[in-house]
Amino acid sequence: MRILVTRPLEDAERTAADLRAHGHEAILAPLMEIHLRSGPDLALAGVQAILVTSANGIRALATRSKRRDLPVFAVGPQSAEAARKEAFAEVKSADGDAAALAEAVKGWARPESGALFHAAGAETKGDLAARLSAAGFTVQSEVLYEAVPASALPPDAETALARGEADAVMLYSPKSARIFVACLAQAGLADAARGLTALCISKAAATPLAMLPFRAVRVAAHPDQDGLFALLD
């Protein structure tokens, strides 16, 4: 299969390599560009652990702090892997979504042991902090990065869509799904959806696709890249 990979470029390149290893061809089509926010060193005194809900969060934090002694509680395998690459020694993965991470943290930490620091993005919802605050934890959250939407698909991706040479598109969030729909409309390629199977990381990511006639829309049973790859089988 020829598959459009819509993750930000750094992550998209890794996904493309994985797809090739599974016998597929990847077409890089990043829908967002990650901008890390600069600033002074982060104040992590009194923090018992770092909460990470995306790989970009831990990459951003690593540019603002030299500390690698704090445990990292990650939402899933990709963010956990990113933490290990940044040399954090103790990394735990909830292997799920924000709700799963909140439940896991209750077993990994105690409210009286110190605050939890959430490395957040500009559009990160407050569900994680709210769930943990309700359980008695103090959560410090700081926006360390933002995802800037693409204004158009890369030329290679547009060409593949126009020629009917793409078989599927991988969509990792509701935001990326909305951007993809907008880019198709802007390029006059809405009809190209008829030949595409949309592989969505969650039901929420599938919702913005309802306005276009996709060949099929599939939702991962588990909200991570392994779940998306399982849709290819």
Residue-level pLDDT at 96: 83
Burial class (CB in 10 A: 0-12, 13-18, 19+), 110: exposed
Only one residue has tokens 């598959």, namely 3
**Rounded distance between C-alpha atoms, residue 80 and residue 93, angstroms:** 6
- The mean of the pLDDT values for the chain is 95
- Map out the domains of the chain as residue ranges: 2-31+150-230, 35-147
pLDDT in tens, 65-92: 999 999 999 998 889 999 999 999 899 9
Residue-level pLDDT at 124: 80
Residue-level pLDDT at 223: 83
Tokens read off for 178: 């909305």
Q: What is the CATH number of domain 2-31+150-230?
A: 3.40.50.10090
2-31+150-230 against 35-147: fold identical: yes
* Predicted model pTM: 0.83
Residue-level pLDDT at 176: 95
Least trusted range by pLDDT, from 2-6, 107-111, 171-175, 177-181 = 171-175
Burial class (CB in 10 A: 0-12, 13-18, 19+), 208: buried
Per CATH, which fold does 35-147 belong to? Rossmann fold (3.40.50)
Residue-level pLDDT at 148: 94
pLDDT tier for residue 233 given thresholds of 50, 70 and 90: confident
Residue-level pLDDT at 222: 86
**Rounded distance between C-alpha atoms, residue 63 and residue 228, angstroms:** 30
CA atoms in the 13 A half-sphere facing the CB of 226: 6
pLDDT in tens, 119-169: 999 988 778 999 999 999 999 999 999 999 999 999 999 999 999 999 999
